[in-house]
Amino acid sequence: MEVCFYAIGNPKTAQMMRVAEDVVFLDDIALKTRLLEERPFLKAIATEGPEDPLLVLFRVYNGEAHFWTMEDNMRESEIERITF
């Protein structure tokens, strides 16, 4: 799986963190309940509570991350990678 985290800013200089990794999906109602209690803004997504199929948890492992901006476009092979 690959995910991207985007820091809002000037489109030319805004930084992204791209992570390519292996994932395992978690079906843990207790963890989903805790997540909704600690992050109430997620209740707008999981309106049916911890059993809502729109609330999906996964654990990231065995991957690689790098930071990227539009200035790095077409030069991704030159960007330092962080392996975890």
Residue pLDDT, tens place only, 46-72: 999 999 999 999 999 999 999 989 888
Residue pLDDT, tens place only, 5-33: 999 888 778 899 999 999 999 999 999 99
What does the alpha-carbon distance between residue 73 and residue 70 come to, in Å, rounded to a whole number?
5
**Domain map of the chain by residue range?**
2-83
Q: Long-range contacts: 36-39, Cβ < 8 Å, 24+?
A: none
